[in-house]
Amino acid sequence: MIKAAILDFDGTLANTLPDLKITLNLTREAYGLPPVTEEDILVHVNNHMPVYIRRMIPELGDETLWDEALEKYYAFYDDHYLAETVPYPGVPEMLAKLKAQGMKLAVMSNKNHSHIVKMVDALFPDTFDSVWGTIPEVPAKPNPARAYLIAEEFGLDISEIAFIGDSDVDMITACNAGAVPVGVAWGYRPADVLRENGAAYTPENAEELYRVLTSLA
């Protein structure tokens, strides 16, 4: 029986691609590099932020410069993280119904923790019981460490939790944790990629996800 859901953010709860492109291209511009497209970003978007920066700005080729670029990226994102980012259709309503039925809800993202807390508060106020981005003390996805901590916080076994995301990284995390892997097909990866990486369900929209979760509750 599923009593809680852990959800990814980018590509699962909200379409963040436009703001990711703005921020990344401002960072690349700071080093005199040409812009990239949303399609370029989609290749690496679900990775831990330091990995993402290294892969999206490979021209720097230096650990010190990559660390500097990550700080620049965070500073630019502070000004743009809600410029064009919006929830996916039906997602706020779906979450409200699940919460009203007593399901515990958490966000687990590879985004910077301070950003994800502000974004969830702005786009989904009073919705989630636990919100986590990455912090130095806990490994990022696909390591399941944070999922276990959320399960402990909720007083549940991890098998009682659905882990919901839009990427191969999310499905690998879910399987590593022993949670129920649910891959949303409206995000940044196609359904076949989600299934190949362990997704037991691949709902096409928020209402279908609601039906999946309530059928497991």
Domain boundary residue, one of 65, 80, 95: 80
Same domain for 65 and 132?
no
In which domain, by residue range, is 125 found?
4-15+86-216
Same domain for 21 and 101?
no
Cα 212 from Cα 217, distance rounded (Å): 9
Q: How deeply is 170 buried, as exposed, middle or buried, from its count of CB atoms within 10 A (0-12, 13-18, 19+)?
A: buried
Same domain for 34 and 138?
no
What is the per-residue pLDDT for 49? 87
What is the per-residue pLDDT for 108? 98
Domain boundary residue, one of 34, 51, 80: 80
Same domain for 96 and 123?
yes
Q: In what order do the strands lie in the sheet with 180-183?
A: 130-134, 104-112, 4-7, 161-165, 180-183
Mean pLDDT within 136-156: 97
Instruction: State how many domains the chain has.
Output: 2
Mean pLDDT within 208-215: 97
48 falls in which pLDDT band (50, 70, 90)? confident
Domain boundary residue, one of 30, 52, 80: 80
The reported pTM is 0.93
Same domain for 131 and 171?
yes
What is the per-residue pLDDT for 211? 98
What is the per-residue pLDDT for 45? 86
Q: Which residue has the tokens 């290749």?
A: 43
What is the per-residue pLDDT for 43? 87
Cα 158 from Cα 180, distance rounded (Å): 9
Cα 51 from Cα 46, distance rounded (Å): 10
| CATH code: domain of residue 162 | 3.40.50.1000
